[in-house]
Amino acid sequence: MFTTVIGGTASQGLAKKIAKRLRAKYLKSELKVFPDGESKVTIYGKPRDRIIVVQSTYPPVDSNLIQALALISKAREYSSKIIAVIPYFGYARQDREFLPGEIITMKTVAKLFKAVGAAKIVVVDVHSKIALKHFKIPVKSISAVPELAKYFSRLNLNNPLVVSPDFGGVSRAREFAKLLNLDYTALLKRRDRKTGKIEIKSSSLRNVRGRDMIIVDDMISTGGSIIKAVEFLKKQNCGRVYVACTHALLINDAEKKIRLAGVSKIISTNTIPRKTAVVDSSKIIVNAIS
């Protein structure tokens, strides 16, 4: 089957890698933002047959989301076989009503993807599995943990311990640790739903003096949780601290703040193009598509 890959401006590099692995035709897109903030999206070339649209929706989330929807809508004019690859899917944290009156925005976003013509969606390490239940079309979330673990297997670490910054991510830490035959643990984190303040209450950590730590998470936004975790671990007299994550949003100088907290290195995938994105996610995406 002939395949066309369309790269949104938020994911051009990753889209090209996907097209190369699939031996597919690659079409680039262009975004023009008017003075009033409106976005105009243009595709260069005509797609056909199976069409894969690749566009992450990291900040500016709304602009990148509109671009993804516009690209899918245009692709639908040429084919009904549209696969939307949204490596980082914004709004996945708004998957339920936490406080009275909150709108479940992910439910609305899910309707939009179906409305514009997506037949299937592929995401990488979606923040919430509950978010996927709002879709009425097939959605597949794939794990980047094996690729991240592969990177760390090449580092010379001292008796490393894998750490989840909270109990919500313990399965991810367990998977990461199992791949490298390491021990893992999870910190007890408390977040105030109204203020957003984070506090590490306690942990079952024992005998970590001098051991290198690998904090594993799905995403880093402002870095608050990571910084609190690092401060706690440093008080236990651990060795070097590394951070592994799939999506490095790193809002408001988060990378600088995390490094100042004592992190030796931040490793992320190219679902979001950053200096930290040294792990390629194109292989797992292509496997999911194929």
3-class state of residue 21 by DSSP: helix
In this prediction, residue 96 carries a pLDDT of 80
Region 73-101: mean pLDDT is: 91
Domain spans, the chain: 3-143+281-289, 145-270
Topology alike, domains 3-143+281-289 and 145-270: yes
Task: Using a cut of 0.85, tell me whether the model's pTM lies above it.
Answer: yes
Q: Is 74 a catalytic residue?
A: no
Q: What is the pLDDT of residues 124-183, one digit of tens each?
A: 999 888 888 889 999 999 999 999 999 999 999 999 999 999 888 899 999 999 999 999
Task: Examine the pLDDT at 30 and tell me if it is beyond 80.
Answer: yes
In this prediction, residue 265 carries a pLDDT of 97
Catalytic residue among 17, 74, 189, 228: 189
**At the top level of CATH, which class does the domain 145-270 belong to?**
alpha beta
Q: What percent of the chain has pLDDT over 90?
A: 79
Q: Phi and psi at residue 204, in whole multiples of 5°?
A: -95, 20
CA atoms of 198 and 193, how far apart (whole Å): 10
The domain made up of 3-143+281-289 is a member of CATH 3.40.50.2020: yes
CB of 249 closer than 8 Å to CB of 125: no
E strand segments, the chain: 3-7, 25-33, 39-43, 50-54, 82-86, 120-124, 139-142, 161-164, 183-191, 198-203, 213-220, 241-248, 263-269, 277-279
Q: What percent of the chain has pLDDT over 70?
A: 94
Among 6-10, 30-34, 214-218, 284-288, the least confident range? 30-34
In this prediction, residue 68 carries a pLDDT of 97
Omega before residue 47 within 30° of 0, cis: no
CB of 144 closer than 8 Å to CB of 165: no
CA atoms of 125 and 172, how far apart (whole Å): 10
Q: What is the pLDDT of residues 230-285, one digit of tens each?
A: 999 998 899 999 999 999 999 999 999 999 999 999 999 999 999 999 999 999 99
* Residue tagged 């105030």 (tokens): 192
In this prediction, residue 290 carries a pLDDT of 82
CB of 263 closer than 8 Å to CB of 226: yes
Closest CA relative to residue 42, chosen from 31, 53, 51, 52? 31
Terminal Cα-to-Cα distance of the chain (whole angstroms): 11
**Residue 37 burial by CB count (10 A; 0-12/13-18/19+): exposed, middle or buried?**
exposed
